Amino acid sequence: MSVNGSAGGRPDVAALREEIRQTRAELGETVQALAAKADVKARAKEQVEQTKQRARAQVYDASVKVRRNPVPVVAALVAGAALVGIILIVRGRRK
């Protein structure tokens, strides 16, 4: 048997066809991967969609936490309202 896989030094046609088929498949995968990397618009849309989903998840998590324990949120709102009230009073006295 020779290096080519058949007797007499002649290449095995079936082996060559399989090698060609495998090479074509690998080349197709490579071209697809390169095309995906070159498609900036699609990659940007995908990134935006992932960011939206992360933001939605964070909003949902925060709303669940607020529903479980609303005291800190109410306290922050009261403190903010008090601060706005103080600012308005101080500005009113300056005039």
Residue 14 CA to residue 3 CA, distance in Å, equals 15
pLDDT tens profile 29-83: 999 999 888 888 888 999 999 999 999 999 999 889 888 888 988 899 999 999 9
pTM over 0.85: no
SS (H, E, C) the chain: CCCCCCHHHCCCHHHHHHHHHHHHHHHHHHHHHHHHHHCHHHHHHHHHHHHHHHHHHHHHHHHHHHHHCCHHHHHHHHHHHHHHHHHHHHHHHHC
